[in-house]
C-alpha cells in the first residue's frame, strides 16, 4: 500500500490509512528528549519511526536523545551527529543495530535501496527523517511521527500515527510523564 499523500517528487507529508493518532505537546526540548528516552527501551528490531516535519521542528533532537538513551542503557557513549550529509549513521547497542537516516537530499527512491535501508527495516531499529522520500518502500508497520512547532518558542507538538497495534503500548508507556499531554 502506498501511503504517500502525493508522488515521490514534491510529496510533503505521509498519510497513514486507517491509522490511530496520538497527539502530544512538549513544552521544552528536554521534555521531547525525555519522551524519546522513555520510548527507546520499548523499541525492537524491525521497528521503524518515520520522522516528518519542517526543518528545525525537532526530528534530529528526538533521534539523538533516543539513540543516546539506548547506548547509555548498554553502558556505551558515542557522539550522535546528524546524518544530513552522511545520509545514514548506524549504531550498535549490543542488542541490535540502530539506523538513523536523513533522506532529505535523495532524489529518487532507488537510492534508498542502495543505502541498504530496506534491509535494515526488517533487522534493525530505524529512524527515518524525511520519510516521504521512501515512496512505496515505506514499511507497513512503521509509526509516523509528525513534529511541528508549538505556540511557544521551545514548545513542540507531536502527532504519532500508526496502523500496527504494537505501537499503542510503546507510546502509552513513553507518554506517562507530566510534561507530555
In whole numbers, what is the pLDDT of the chain averaged over residues?
Answer: 86
What pLDDT sits at residue 62?
A: 96
The pLDDT value given to residue 97 = 96
- How far is it, in rounded angstroms, from Cα 1 to Cα 14? 12
Residue 154 dihedral angles phi and psi, to the nearest 5°: -90, -5
Query: pLDDT tens digit string along 114-136?
Result: 899 999 999 999 999 999 999 88
- Residue 114 C-alpha cell reads as 542502495
Mean local confidence (pLDDT), 150-174: 93
User: The pTM is what?
Assistant: 0.86
Domains along the chain? 20-175 (3.40.50.300)
Q: Taking residues 144-172, what's their average pLDDT?
A: 94
Amino acid at each position: 500500500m502506498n501511503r504517500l499523500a502525493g508522488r515521490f517528487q514534491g510529496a510533503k507529508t505521509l498519510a497513514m490509512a486507517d491509522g490511530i493518532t496520538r497527539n502530544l505537546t512538549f513544552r521544552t526540548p528536554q521534555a521531547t528528549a525525555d519522551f524519546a528516552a522513555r520510548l527507546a527501551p520499548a523499541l525492537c528490531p524491525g521497528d521503524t519511526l518515520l520522522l516528518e516535519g519542517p526543518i528545525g521542528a525537532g526530528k534530529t533532537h528526538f533521534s539523538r536523545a533516543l539513540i543516546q538513551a539506548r547506548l547509555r542503557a548498554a553502558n556505551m557513549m558515542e557522539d550522535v551527529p546528524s546524518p544530513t550529509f552522511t545520509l545514514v549513521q548506524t549504531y550498535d547497542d549490543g542488542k541490535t543495530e540502530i539506523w538513523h537516516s536523513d533522506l532529505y537530499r535523495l532524489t529518487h527512491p532507488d537510492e534508498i535501496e542502495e543505502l541498504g535501508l530496506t534491509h535494515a527495516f526488517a533487522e534493525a531499529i530505524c529512524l527515518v527523517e524525511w520519510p516521504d522520500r521512501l515512496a512505496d518502500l515505506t514499511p507497513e508497520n512503521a509509526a509516523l511521527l509528525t513534529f511541528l512547532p508549538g505556540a511557544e518558542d521551545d514548545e513542540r507538538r507531536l502527532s504519532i500515527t500508526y496502523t500496527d497495534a504494537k505501537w499503542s503500548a510503546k507510546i502509552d508507556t513513553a507518554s506517562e510523564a507530566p510534561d507530555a499531554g
